Amino acid sequence: MSAALLLNALAAHPDRPSLSDTSQQLTAAEIVRAVHHLSGRFDTCHVLAVLADNSVDWVLADLAAFSMGAVHLPLPTFFSPAQMAHALTQTKADAVYTDQPERISALNLGFSCQWTQGRHSLMRRQVNRPQLPAGCTKISFTSGSTGSPKGVCLSGKGLMATAQAVQSTLSPIGLSQHLAVLPLSLLLENTAGIYAALLNGTHIQLPPLAQLGWRGMAGFDPAALQHSAVASQPSSMILVPELLKAWLLYLETTRQRAPQSLRFVAVGGAHVDATLISRARQAGIPAYEGYGLTECGSVVSLNLPGDEGSGVGRVLPHVQLRLSQGEVHLHTSAFLGYTSQTSAPAAKTQEFATGDLGALDDQGHLHLVGRRTNMLITTFGRNISPEWVESVVLAQAAIMQVVVLGDAQPWLSAILVPMPGVTEPQIKAAMAQANHQLPDYAQVKRWLISTPMTLNNGLATGNGRLRRDAIAKQFASSIEALYATPEPTLPAP
């Protein structure tokens, strides 16, 4: 029934251009026909993973899985092989639709090519059906706070509730062209950039990620984003804070402006400094901060023109919010549980304790004031447990102590205490080896060398546990200096 909302919205305006990429443009009616055709080719798939670049075909595969009742597992292209194998194994995915079949074959999980059409192949394997909650439509693995991230089971009903809330909230702005900048595997772009836009009758443009400036380990090229934005003349975009900052700095340096067609640029995934929002608007980027979580189907709150403040916006109507001792607890119809639960997840939606500390003002706007745990959230919106990265670094013989930092920064840094007698080249080699074992977003790009952190200098407890707050305070100026220059290119191990 949830997928029918999307297909009915498309059928209501059959001749309207709705999806386009560099090789094809489809009207609403052509999308409906393509989805029905692809559903037939996926008819025996139970859990369909999609590993592919942004394209019309990615969206068609997503809608086909949705309409036929299969579970869709979007695989982020930035996942390491170990994380990809973990996601496929934990969900017992029996099919992968991909434009990168060699990456799936290299995992040695038993997948073989069943058919190829254009740039995409369907790979299949025999596997027992997974125990998933009733109504599970999508399993979204975030970047992962550990090496083996949790898969969030989401209901189609909840995803559509999120999309409808976003669509009705943004409808008065009049958004006719959306440029998908984030990878479609990210739930934010998938739900707010695709589903909500289709419900709204918005034409969605889907250039490949490289054309938009994504360069993998080489970083992000804002000149490419500006070129794409000028060429496509969108009215809306979704960005994470680091992309907004990179684009803004490029515009300011080159004395250019964002295209006048832009009416709304949502920014989410991590906190956005108010000064950055103000500067962006002066450069022609109508940026508005929002807040969301995978467990809630993505968007939770959003600032809007004429209804904004210093927080993350008004909570959308599909969300129930409760504050418990200052912690934000949320409930939507999307969250069904995690694939990592030892027993079959319950077939009902669940309240989610976010770990964020917040408050509501008199206008109903949500203000976030910090994190309850040590979780780091980079400005690319990646959730990273420092303990995970630290364990990889500490596995290197040259390193005695380490504290990983990088909250609200584009990349991670660290305070290192080397083993006695270890030389600088040995430290560099150890860090290169550790980074080789980590995905790109969790690699330590710069570090400071420290003397041992102990009880005597106030940087550790009596049992040797490092005092993160004290360490961050003592090294504050040196840490700030690490981020004063552009992200470095890491050497190979």
Q: What is the pLDDT of residue 345?
A: 46
**194 CB burial (10 A radius; 0-12, 13-18, 19+):** buried
Q: With cut-offs at 50, 70 and 90, classify the pLDDT of residue 464.
A: low
> What does the alpha-carbon distance between residue 366 and residue 313 come to, in Å, rounded to a whole number?
6
Its sign, for the CA torsion 7, 12, 15, 21, is: negative
On whether the CB atoms of residues 73 and 123 are closer than 8 A, the answer is: no
Q: What's the structural domain count of the chain? A: 2
Q: Give the residue-averaged pLDDT of 62-86.
A: 93
- Say if residue 354 is in the same domain as residue 434: no
Q: With cut-offs at 50, 70 and 90, classify the pLDDT of residue 23.
A: very high
- Say if residue 361 is in the same domain as residue 416: no
Query: Is 357 part of a structural domain of the chain?
Result: yes
Percent of the chain's residues with pLDDT above 70: 94
143 vs 10: which has the higher pLDDT: 10
CATH number where 400 lies: 3.30.300.30
Q: b/e for 303-332, b at 16 or more Cβ within 10 A?
A: bbeeebbebbbbbbebbebeeeeeebebbb
For residue 462, pLDDT over 60 is answered with: no
For residue 323, pLDDT over 80 is answered with: yes
Q: What is the pLDDT of residue 216?
A: 74
pTM of the entire predicted model: 0.81
Q: Give the residue-averaged pLDDT of 113-140.
A: 94
Q: What is the pLDDT of residue 145?
A: 45
Structure-token match 């998908």, residue found: 180
- Say if residue 215 is in the same domain as residue 363: yes
Q: What is the pLDDT of residue 344?
A: 46
- Please give the residue range of the domain that contains residue 270: 2-371
Q: Give the residue-averaged pLDDT of 28-49.
A: 96
- Say if residue 101 is in the same domain as residue 157: yes
Please, which contacts does 463-468 make with residues 24 or more away whose CB atoms are closer than 8 Å? 466/401, 466/403, 468/374, 468/386, 468/403
Query: Domain boundary residue among 371, 398, 418?
Result: 371
Average pLDDT, the chain: 90
For residue 108, pLDDT over 60 is answered with: yes
Query: Is 489 part of a structural domain of the chain?
Result: no
Query: Is 488 part of a structural domain of the chain?
Result: no
> What does the alpha-carbon distance between residue 163 and residue 176 come to, in Å, rounded to a whole number?
16
> Residues 240-257: pLDDT tens digits?
887 898 899 899 989 999
Query: Domain boundary residue among 371, 396, 414?
Result: 371
> Residues 327-375: pLDDT tens digits?
999 999 999 988 976 454 455 667 889 988 889 999 899 998 767 778 8
Q: Give the residue-averaged pLDDT of 19-47.
A: 96
- Say if residue 404 is in the same domain as residue 313: no
> What does the alpha-carbon distance between residue 148 and residue 388 come to, in Å, rounded to a whole number?
10
On whether the CB atoms of residues 60 and 36 are closer than 8 A, the answer is: no
CATH number where 15 lies: 3.40.50.12780
Query: Is 491 part of a structural domain of the chain?
Result: no
Q: What is the pLDDT of residue 402?
A: 93
- Say if residue 99 is in the same domain as residue 60: yes
Q: With cut-offs at 50, 70 and 90, classify the pLDDT of residue 490.
A: low
Query: Is 493 part of a structural domain of the chain?
Result: no
- Say if residue 367 is in the same domain as residue 391: no
Query: Is 194 part of a structural domain of the chain?
Result: yes
Q: What is the pLDDT of residue 491?
A: 60
- Say if residue 310 is in the same domain as residue 455: no
> Residues 262-289: pLDDT tens digits?
999 999 877 777 878 988 999 999 999 9
> What does the alpha-carbon distance between residue 60 and residue 31 come to, in Å, rounded to a whole number?
7
Q: What is the pLDDT of residue 447?
A: 96
Residue 214 CB contacts under 8 Å (≥ 6 apart), including other chains: 183, 220
Query: Domain boundary residue among 308, 342, 371?
Result: 371
Query: Is 487 part of a structural domain of the chain?
Result: no
- Say if residue 432 is in the same domain as residue 290: no
> Residues 406-444: pLDDT tens digits?
999 999 999 999 988 999 999 999 999 999 999 999 999
> What does the alpha-carbon distance between residue 479 and residue 298 come to, in Å, rounded to a whole number?
32
- Say if residue 367 is in the same domain as residue 401: no
Query: Is 356 part of a structural domain of the chain?
Result: yes
- Say if residue 94 is in the same domain as residue 12: yes
Its sign, for the CA torsion 328, 334, 340, 345, is: positive
- Say if residue 338 is in the same domain as residue 426: no
Lowest mean pLDDT among 188-192, 275-279, 342-346, 376-380: 342-346
